[in-house]
């Protein structure tokens, strides 16, 4: 019997651009709107149920309504579709409904485990579109791969999706197409970004690794992330900060001011923004500028993270709380521009992909501690180092330090200590 996606040892994700026809675009929008509607309907039922349960007096009509809501939430695919008949339209993907319900329940599960993201909120109508479907196979006994499911590759340029049919795509890595007979497709996400480009994201799993894993012993490295330069490692290598957002900040500001003027004009003339053609044209220009910045930053982060993981057996970094650091208005833009959290996330999943180790440590005193003698600045009547202190001399041993290189060495030592105590 075939293994499920969770049982397969190796996982991979790929996102490719698709080129749907006018009819396929209509179907994508319908499924996206239906997905948002089901999510919001479940959220509304859940909130109403919570409010009714606050009523402590046993009122018959309240108790009846509570029973009705609990029944609908127990089996929402049937309960909501019976009330809203248009959800039974043949244009709508049944697996889209199942994935929307699963995502809503997972949002509650995440809230109960983490308590940071808050309870699920209503999804607003946006210029973007998105919904999820799943790849189903005819039988659990048949061999499952990228060629025989409800989501399958037809050739190197065409893919078949439920309800949408055949779509042309580009961007699939050649190595995945070569090994397509041993790879299973899981959850599939169809999306449209703010500029009107359509994409398909495939969740893949296999018994074989997706990348070539080298078992040659490599060195360990600690990395210090900062805004002056992007990172400095424990070997003294420095990666410059590209500052992609700052490079287009003035151009983006001009485009956004023009967008704001067009929004005010549409409002003055009592026209909705959705029907204002000039506003929509300018909105796409703004979104295009932002997309280019995001793409350049993601490409840079992928190059840095892949290089670090492939060339080292152990990578140690600071566990940075970017959310707290963004409260500093003087550094917020610089911190958001470098993408630290995205880099740490990439290092985490690429370490598992390449069979490497990635460890994060508490950044406390990594900058203030002398790597040679262990003296901590700010103690014994010494002043703490500030952001402007790029070089400093240890008052105890007299060693001259480059601030970021010293911090990277301390980070590596903390990471090695953490692994030794496990």
Q: Give 116-135 pLDDT, tens digit per residue.
A: 778 899 999 999 999 999 99
Task: Say yes or no to pLDDT of 321 above 80.
Answer: no
Q: Are 318 and 361 in contact (CB under 8 A)?
A: yes
Per the structure, the count of domains in the chain is 3
**Per-residue model confidence (pLDDT) at position 173:** 87
Which of these three, 206, 231, 255, is where a domain ends? 206
152 and 221 co-located in one domain: no
Task: Say yes or no to pLDDT of 195 above 70.
Answer: yes
**Per-residue model confidence (pLDDT) at position 114:** 78
Place of tokens 């995502």: 103
Least confident of 302-311, 320-329, 370-379, 400-409: 320-329
**Per-residue model confidence (pLDDT) at position 141:** 59
Q: Which residues contact 271 (CB under 8 A, 6 or more apart)?
A: none
Average pLDDT over residues 264-290: 94
92 and 161 co-located in one domain: no
Average pLDDT over residues 245-259: 94
**Per-residue model confidence (pLDDT) at position 227:** 81
Place of tokens 């296999």: 206
Least confident of 78-82, 238-242, 275-279: 78-82
C-alpha separations of 273 from 280, 283, 345, 361 in Å = 7, 10, 36, 47
179 and 250 co-located in one domain: no
- pLDDT confidence of 182, banded at 50, 70, 90? confident
Least confident of 72-81, 195-204, 270-279, 379-388: 379-388
Domain hosting residue 56, numbered range: 25-113
Task: Say yes or no to pLDDT of 1 above 70.
Answer: no
Number of Cβ within a 10 Å radius of residue 313: 18
325 and 306 co-located in one domain: yes
**Per-residue model confidence (pLDDT) at position 381:** 80
**Per-residue model confidence (pLDDT) at position 111:** 87
Task: Say yes or no to pLDDT of 78 above 90.
Answer: no
CA distance 183 to 113: 32
335 and 187 co-located in one domain: no
Q: What does the H/E/C string look like for 102-116? A: HHHHHHHHHHHHHCC
Which of these three, 179, 206, 233, is where a domain ends? 206
Lay out the sheet containing 165-170: strands in order across.
129-134, 183-192, 198-206, 10-19, 165-170, 158-161, 152-153
278 and 144 co-located in one domain: no
Judge whether 3 lies within some domain. no
Average pLDDT, the chain: 90
Judge whether 122 lies within some domain. no
Judge whether 2 lies within some domain. no
Task: Say yes or no to pLDDT of 249 above 60.
Answer: yes
Average pLDDT over residues 92-104: 94
Helices (H) and strands (E) in the chain, counts: 11, 14
Q: What is the pTM of this model?
A: 0.88
336 and 397 co-located in one domain: yes
- pLDDT confidence of 55, banded at 50, 70, 90? confident
Which runs of consecutive H residues, i.e. helices, occur in 92-154? 94-114
170 and 317 co-located in one domain: no
CA distance 22 to 43: 32
Q: Are 73 and 46 in contact (CB under 8 A)?
A: yes
Q: What percent of the chain has pLDDT over 90?
A: 56
Place of tokens 């075939």: 2
215-226 pLDDT, tens digit per residue, is 777 789 999 988
Judge whether 120 lies within some domain. no
Question: pLDDT higher for 20 or 149?
Answer: 20
Number of Cβ within a 10 Å radius of residue 160: 14
Judge whether 123 lies within some domain. no
243 and 316 co-located in one domain: yes
CA distance 408 to 410: 5
CA distance 187 to 198: 17
Closest among 175, 253, 233 to 208, alpha carbons compared: 175
Place of tokens 């007096």: 57
> 251: part of which helix (H) or strand (E)?
helix 244-268
Judge whether 32 lies within some domain. yes
Q: Which two structure tokens, joined as six digits, stand for 52? A: 């009714």
| Widest CA span in the chain | 81
Strand positions, DSSP E, 145-212:
152-153, 158-161, 165-170, 183-192, 198-206
355 and 265 co-located in one domain: yes
378 and 391 co-located in one domain: yes
Q: Are 409 and 366 in contact (CB under 8 A)?
A: no
300 and 179 co-located in one domain: no
CA distance 355 to 216: 12
332-389 pLDDT, tens digit per residue, is 788 788 888 899 999 999 999 998 999 999 888 888 889 888 888 888 888 888 888 8
Q: What percent of the chain has pLDDT over 70?
A: 97
* SS3 state of residue 315: strand
Which of these three, 65, 82, 113, is where a domain ends? 113
């Amino acid at each position: 019997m075939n293994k499920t996606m969770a049982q397969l040892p190796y996982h991979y994700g790929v996102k490719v651009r698709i080129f749907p026809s006018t009819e396929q675009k209509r179907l994508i929008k319908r499924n996206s709107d239906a997905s948002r509607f089901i999510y919001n309907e479940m959220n509304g039922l859940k909130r109403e149920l919570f409010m009714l349960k606050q009523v402590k007096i046993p009122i018959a009509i309240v108790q009846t309504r509570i029973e009705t809501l609990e029944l609908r939430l127990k089996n929402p695919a049937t309960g909501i579709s019976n009330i809203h008949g248009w959800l039974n339209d043949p244009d709508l993907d049944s697996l889209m409904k199942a994935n929307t319900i699963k995502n809503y329940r997972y949002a509650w599960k995440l809230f109960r485990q983490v308590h940071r993201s808050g309870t699920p909120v209503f999804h607003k109508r946006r210029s973007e579109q998105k919904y999820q479907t799943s790849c189903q196979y005819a039988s659990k006994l048949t061999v499952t791969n990228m060629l025989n499911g409800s989501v399958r590759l037809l050739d190197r340029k065409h893919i078949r999706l439920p309800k949408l049919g055949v779509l042309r795509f580009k961007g699939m890595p050649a190595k995945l197409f070569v090994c397509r007979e041993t790879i299973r497709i899981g959850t599939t996400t169809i999306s449209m970004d703010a500029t009107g480009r359509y994409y398909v994201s495939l969740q893949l799993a296999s018994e074989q690794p997706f990348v070539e894993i080298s078992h040659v012993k490599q060195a360990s490295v600690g990395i210090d992330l900062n805004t002056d330069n992007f990172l400095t490692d424990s070997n003294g290598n420095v990666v410059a900060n590209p500052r992609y957002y700052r490079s287009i900040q003035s151009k983006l500001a001009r485009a956004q001011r023009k967008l704001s003027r067009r929004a005010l004009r549409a409002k003055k003339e009592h026209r909705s923004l959705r029907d204002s053609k000039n506003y929509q044209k300018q909105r796409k220009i703004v979104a295009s500028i932002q997309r280019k910045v995001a793409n350049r930053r993601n490409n840079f982060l992928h190059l840095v993270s892949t290089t670090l993981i492939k060339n080292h057996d152990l990578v140690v970094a600071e566990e940075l709380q970017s959310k707290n650091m963004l409260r500093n208005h003087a550094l917020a833009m610089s911190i958001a521009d470098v993408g630290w959290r995205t880099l740490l996330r990439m290092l985490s999943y690429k370490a598992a992909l390449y069979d490497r180790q990635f460890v994060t440590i508490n950044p406390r005193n990594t900058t203030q501690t002398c790597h040679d003698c262990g003296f901590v600045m700010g103690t014994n009547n010494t002043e703490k180092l500030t952001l402007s202190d790029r070089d400093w001399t240890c008052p105890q041993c007299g060693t001259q330090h480059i601030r970021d290189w010293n911090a990277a060495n301390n980070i590596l030592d903390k990471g090695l200590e953490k692994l030794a105590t496990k």
